[in-house]
């Protein structure tokens, strides 16, 4: 297992004041059975000869690395690693979005655009996009969000991927491929850090520095204010900047959607049984089953919706409950075929002639 650490954390954990360079970033590695500094340098760094510098940085005595116990943590300068910058790709875009490159220049954003470490993506109302990373993991940036791609790197020989994302505000959905033991995927908000390894979850951050994580598959680790919680599938957690984490909360179950009650199926009218504990409901209507092309999104108190003037075609509806902590529950998804509204035929329209007019013409 590994993680990146700052100089301050390194000095605290290893207890070696003065052993590191103040501005250097370090990769923390945990020894496994059979490991040696030589093998670690060969596998993860640009040269096998880096083993001696790693030994010096970690103040390991000459010749003693072969007896380092499994579980021991060492650090390696990031500048030594073989990790190669690997861009993310825009694979879906709805309504447009803004892109600011790491150098401050604005650029066009479209399907196929490559994004690199340091790039900033901003979405406004009715805009969203989906990104794909080196390991095929995906991130959907929803409306009114600001996301920075802090780090995108890939060690092609070992398959190790390091993806660091900063959600300054707004909401994202993410699907993380099951990773090898050395890979890392992290999303940071002003309130907390969520780290995952093969899972699906939603994450939102608001202007009051409160973030909400909702896990729909797998397990995530959320850390804030020197506390950490493992959040399992079907649970969520609220993190507030400067406060320790509370216990995870069970998410609301998916609502059971009814049938389309529109008389001629040219619109969408349906309801669902109210969920215990739901204060609100969020619904999204899209024209694709991955919800990349969302045409309507809203939060309501009622357990019914009605939409008219929809173009004929197949639509996908996603509905979930929202509890008193503003954690959003498990989705219920349905698809509906909207038909063409019947057109009134003027040639068949009945003409009513008053009786007195008929008598006058007799």
Q: Which is more confident, 220 or 151?
A: 220
| Residues 212 and 266 grouped into a single domain | no
Q: Each residue of 70-80: b (16+ CB within 10 Å) or e? A: eeebbbbbeeb
Sequence-ordered list of residues with C-beta below 8 angstroms from that of 200, at least 6 positions apart, any chain: 173, 174, 175, 176, 215, 216, 217, 218
CATH number for the domain spanning 238: value is 2.60.120.1440
Indicate whether 218 belongs to any domain. Answer: yes
Mean pLDDT value across residues 307-335: 96
Q: Which is more confident, 3 or 355?
A: 355
| Residues 93 and 146 grouped into a single domain | yes
| Residues 207 and 304 grouped into a single domain | no
pLDDT at 84 over 80: no
| Residues 182 and 305 grouped into a single domain | no
- Domain boundary (80, 110, 132) is at 80
Which pLDDT does position 352 carry in this prediction? 54
| Residues 297 and 276 grouped into a single domain | yes
pLDDT at 342 over 70: yes
Q: Which is more confident, 8 or 239?
A: 239
- Domain boundary (80, 106, 128) is at 80
d(CA 335, CA 98): 31
Return the percentage of the chain with pLDDT > 70, whole number.
83
d(CA 222, CA 199): 13
Residue that is written with structure tokens 């009605």 in the block = 306
| Residues 156 and 118 grouped into a single domain | yes
Indicate whether 12 belongs to any domain. Answer: yes
Residue from 74, 73, 109, 65 nearest 88 by CA: 109
Residue 339 in tokens: 């038909």
Which pLDDT does position 24 carry in this prediction? 65
Which pLDDT does position 181 carry in this prediction? 67
Given pLDDT bands bounded at 50, 70 and 90, which one contains residue 149? very high
Which pLDDT does position 156 carry in this prediction? 66
Residue-number span of the structural domain to which 73 is assigned: 2-80
Indicate whether 362 belongs to any domain. Answer: no
| Residues 221 and 259 grouped into a single domain | no
CATH number for the domain spanning 326: value is 2.60.40.10
Mean pLDDT value across residues 211-239: 96
| Residues 16 and 132 grouped into a single domain | no
How many C-beta atoms lie closer than 10 Å to residue 273's C-beta? Answer: 10
pLDDT at 190 over 90: yes
- Domain boundary (226, 250, 274) is at 250
Average per-residue pLDDT for the chain: 85
pLDDT at 11 over 50: no
Instruction: Give the model confidence (pLDDT) of 262-306 as tens digits.
Output: 988 889 999 999 999 999 999 999 999 999 999 999 999 999 999
The answer to whether 109 and 99 have CB atoms below 8 angstroms apart is: yes
Mean pLDDT value across residues 39-67: 85
Strands 26-30 and 73-77: antiparallel
- The count of structural domains within the chain is 3
d(CA 31, CA 65): 10
Indicate whether 135 belongs to any domain. Answer: yes
- List the beta bridge partners of residue 296: 285
Instruction: Give the model confidence (pLDDT) of 245-260 as tens digits.
Output: 999 999 999 999 999 9
Mean pLDDT value across residues 109-138: 94
Which pLDDT does position 133 carry in this prediction? 93
């Amino acid at each position: 297992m590994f993680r990146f650490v700052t100089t301050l954390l390194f000095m605290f954990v290893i207890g070696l004041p003065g052993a590191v360079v103040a501005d250097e970033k370090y990769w923390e590695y945990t020894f496994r059975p059979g490991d040696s500094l030589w093998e670690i340098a060969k596998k993860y760094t640009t040269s096998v000869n880096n083993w001696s510098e790693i030994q010096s940085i970690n103040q390991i005595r000459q010749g003693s690395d072969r007896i380092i116990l499994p579980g021991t943590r060492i650090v390696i300068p990031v500048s030594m690693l073989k990790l190669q910058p690997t861009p993310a790709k825009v694979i879906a875009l709805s309504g447009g979005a803004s892109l600011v490159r790491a150098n401050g220049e604005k650029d066009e954003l479209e399907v196929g655009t490559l994004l690199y470490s340091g790039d900033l993506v901003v979405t406004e109302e009715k805009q969203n996009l989906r990104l794909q990373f080196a390991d095929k993991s995906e991130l959907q940036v929803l409306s009114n969000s600001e996301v920075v791609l802090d780090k995108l790197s890939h060690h092609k020989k070992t398959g190790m991927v390091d993806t660091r994302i900063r959600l300054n505000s707004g909401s994202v959905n993410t699907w993380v491929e099951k990773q090898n033991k050395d890979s890392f995927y992290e999303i940071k908000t002003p309130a907390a850090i969520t780290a995952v390894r093969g899972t699906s979850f939603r994450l939102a951050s608001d202007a009051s520095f409160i973030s909400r994580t909702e896990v729909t598959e797998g397990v995530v680790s959320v850390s804030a204010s020197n506390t950490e919680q493992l959040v399992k599938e079907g649970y969520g957690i609220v993190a507030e900047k400067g406060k320790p984490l509370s216990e995870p909360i069970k998410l609301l179950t998916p609502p059971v959607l009814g049938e389309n009650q529109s008389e001629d199926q040219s619109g969408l009218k349906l309801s669902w049984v109210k969920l215990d504990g739901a204060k609100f409901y969020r619904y999204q209507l899209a024209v694709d089953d991955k919800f990349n092309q969302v045409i309507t999104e809203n939060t309501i108190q009622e357990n019914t919706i009605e939409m008219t003037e929809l173009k004929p075609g197949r639509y996908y509806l996603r509905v979930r409950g929202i509890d008193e902590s503003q954690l959003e529950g498990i989705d219920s998804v349905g698809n509906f075929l909207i038909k063409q509204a019947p057109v009134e035929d003027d040639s068949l329209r009945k003409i009513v002639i008053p009786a007195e007019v008929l008598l006058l013409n007799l």
